[in-house]
Amino acid sequence: MAKGTVYASESRTFHDTRTGTRIRQVTTASALHHHPFFIIPAYDDAMQRLIFVSHRTGAPQLFAEERATGELRQLTDRTDLSEWSGHPSHDGTAVFFTAGTSGWRLDLETLEERELVNFAATAMQEKGMVAAAMGTTALSHDDKWWAVRFNIGEESALAIVDTDTGEHEIILRRDSIGHLQFCPDDANLLYYAGPLTDRVWVIHRDGSGNRRLYARNVKKNEWITHETWMPRTRELAFVDWPRGVRCVHVDTGAERQVTTFNAWHAICNPAGTLMVADTNFPDIGIQTFDPLDSVGAPQTLCYPNASSIGEHWNGPFPYADGPTQVYAPQHTHPHPSFSPDGQHIVFTSDRSGYAQIYEASLS
């Protein structure tokens, strides 16, 4: 089907058999679907649309669920979309994505695609399935700045793009640059993932202040992963797999423990008052917990029953002796994240045999 095609609503509602949580299934077509990576919002701030990727046309394309009607609209028709790169604007007017070696702005009313920048990159992402291989991007909360990583030869580069003019500046070149996220309270500060053995870095938007925020404890063979900003605190949370979630303050360096259960992909709501995480080895369902009470006791929201493929998670840190190839198709992971109003958790599950998108209600 072509760009602009509108599909009837596929929404259906049921309740989790063990928790009673109301769950809405957003997609049902016999194809792979997934929402954006958990540190990227799936909705605009007004929740007019839910943005996702569908393979129903035979290739990954951006789609939107129009939440007022439930209709699904195909937004792109490309052969070169980087499917984890999409980032909806907070004001609901656009989606930013990479395709080929370019960065694009898609107007959500007209579906016009405007090439903002061509990076003339060697490649837009690393080889593999995780971290820098996913090609995620980041958008500041004022929608003015877009952070994109790409390769120049053997180096990784980080560029900041003006979302109006397309003017851009490479602010960093180094060995590895992975997931990116602007601080929700400071458009001049962003986090990025360095190498898998040294992940937690922050940098200012102008390229100054590049520094390691947390040094992995090598003696303990720590597995530090899945970092995300905590709203309203200037703290960066990270998973110390499988020993829970910790935070470090970007200005003072103060550290604190948030929770101690096997939180896998963990993120906070926009108000900074509740976190959600999927789990693995063992999978005990999607859990919510308080990030502020120094306990973080988990409460089961629902059981996504996703296959959550990635056997390397069931053991010690696998990258201590250098890079290694792992098999971890990302669409098999729930990757829960909050809606902007904090009332819903969107997640992906292949429980039906195909990866579909679901929305669990917190009400």
CATH topology of domain 6-361: Methylamine Dehydrogenase; Chain H (2.130.10)
- Return the pLDDT at 128: 83
Residue 1 pLDDT > 80: no
- Return the pLDDT at 314: 98
Residue 175 pLDDT > 80: yes
Parallel, antiparallel, or unpaired: how do β-strands 87-88 and 72-74 relate?
unpaired
Burial 50-67 (b: 16+ CB within 10 A, else e): bbbbbbbbeebbbbbbeb
Residue 133 pLDDT > 90: no
Residue range 12-66, pLDDT digits in tens: 999 999 999 999 999 999 999 999 999 999 999 999 999 999 999 999 999 999 9
Residue 131 pLDDT > 80: no
Q: Which residues fall within 8 angstroms of residue 108, CB to CB, at 6 or more apart? A: 49, 64, 75, 92, 93, 94, 95
Helix (H, G, I), strand (E, B) or coil at 332: helix
Mean pLDDT of the chain, nearest integer = 97
Q: For 132, phi and psi rounded to 5 degrees? A: -60, -15
Reported as a pLDDT band with limits 50, 70 and 90, residue 132 is confident
Residue 190 pLDDT > 90: yes
Q: Please state the domain extents for the chain.
A: 6-361
Task: Please state whether the predicted TM-score (pTM) of the whole model is above 0.85.
Answer: yes
Helix (H, G, I), strand (E, B) or coil at 300: strand
Residue where the block lists tokens 């009313």 = 109
Residue range 308-349, pLDDT digits in tens: 999 999 999 999 988 889 999 999 999 999 999 999 999 999
Reported as a pLDDT band with limits 50, 70 and 90, residue 103 is very high
Compute the distance between CA of residue 348 and CA of residue 144 in angstroms, rounded to an integer: 29
- Return the pLDDT at 323: 83
